[in-house]
């Protein structure tokens, strides 16, 4: 931890390489949570171990796509010991996260067609630990709605850059009063609600980053995903993939 009185974590990023690490350190971050789409947990874990060092902790996580592609709801799990596939029921995912004692976070609630709803949070209240209240891809009305959900459900808040692009790293962070040295310690902080505050940058540069990320969202959810799901064959995180050995057949939506 630096000489600041807070430990800064960008709680959800999609990219990780030398450039990301360099930018994170320049931005004063102490940790990143890395959760790329359609990548199995063992590979995510190997990559985070490669890029973690004494100055920056990189924590593996999975943003699981629950439900069908057209009706998917994203849930972020930190602290998983065993892989969990995409395209399983929301209830099934929550049960698996609880079994593994993961910290369960709701990214971008009620955002477009991919956000968990307030009603879902209430149904799974015993399993969910925090809800995202600031995401650069959001419009202001989305951030306001997310804050209202946190207030009405009495959940902890977190924020992230949700960076799909290198330049967005460190635009948002979640602050903790207590320094974190390991994945397990971060999971414990999240599970016990020890988040201090959510902070984001401001100004013209930040607004530009937000717009660029939002524009990237449209591209990512169109031709890129069609190519992945239809033209390129089965994803490694599909529940029918041989790596899962039929473990999730009873809760698969495909």
pLDDT, tens only, 118-149: 999 999 999 999 999 999 987 889 899 999 99
> Is the pLDDT reported for residue 26 higher than 70?
yes
Rounded to the nearest integer, the mean pLDDT of the chain is: 91
Q: What is the pLDDT of residues 214-232, one digit of tens each?
A: 776 665 655 555 555 544 5
The two tokens of residue 45 are: 């874990």
Average pLDDT over residues 231-240: 74
Pick the range with the lowest mean pLDDT from 4-18, 60-74, 183-197, 218-232.
Answer: 218-232
Q: What is the pLDDT of residues 158-176, one digit of tens each?
A: 999 999 999 999 999 999 9
Q: DSSP label at 69?
A: S
Class of domain 7-251: alpha beta
Q: What is the pLDDT of residues 81-95, one digit of tens each?
A: 999 999 999 999 999
Domain ranges of the chain: 7-251
Average pLDDT over residues 112-123: 92
pLDDT of residue 233: 47
Cβ neighbours around 138 below 10 Å, total: 23
> Is the pLDDT reported for residue 177 higher than 70?
yes
pLDDT of residue 5: 81
**In the β-sheet with 7-13, what is the strand arrangement from edge to edge?**
156-159, 130-134, 103-106, 73-78, 57-66, 31-34, 7-13, 172-176, 195-200
- Give alpha helix (H) positions in the chain: 18-26, 41-51, 90-99, 118-123, 140-153, 183-191, 204-219, 225-226
């Amino acid at each position: 931890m630096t000489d600041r009185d807070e430990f800064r974590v960008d709680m959800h990023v999609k990219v990780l390489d030398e450039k990301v690490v360099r930018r994170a350190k320049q931005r004063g971050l102490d940790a990143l949570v890395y959760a790329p789409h359609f990548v199995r947990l063992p590979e995510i874990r190997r990559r985070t171990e490669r890029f973690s060092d004494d100055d920056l902790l990189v924590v593996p996580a999975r943003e699981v796509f629950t439900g069908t592609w057209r009706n998917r709801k994203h849930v972020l799990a930190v602290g998983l010991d065993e892989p969990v596939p995409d395209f399983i029921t929301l209830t099934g995912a929550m049960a698996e996260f609880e079994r593994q004692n993961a910290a369960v976070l709701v990214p971008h609630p009620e955002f477009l067609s991919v956000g968990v709803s307030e009603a879902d949070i209430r149904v799974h209240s015993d399993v969910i630990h925090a809800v995202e209240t600031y995401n650069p891809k959001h419009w202001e009305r989305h951030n306001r709605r997310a804050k209202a959900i946190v207030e009405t459900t009495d959940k902890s808040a977190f924020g992230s850059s949700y960076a799909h692009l290198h330049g967005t790293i460190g635009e948002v962070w979640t602050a903790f009063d207590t320094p974190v040295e390991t994945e397990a310690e971060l999971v414990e902080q999240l599970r016990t609600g020890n988040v201090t505050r959510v902070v984001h940058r401001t100004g013209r540069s930040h607004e530009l980053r937000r717009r660029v990320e939002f524009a990237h969202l449209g591209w990512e959810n169109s031709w890129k995903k069609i190519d992945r799901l239809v033209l390129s064959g089965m994803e490694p995180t599909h529940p029918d993939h041989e790596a899962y050995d039929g473990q999730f057949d009873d809760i698969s939506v495909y």
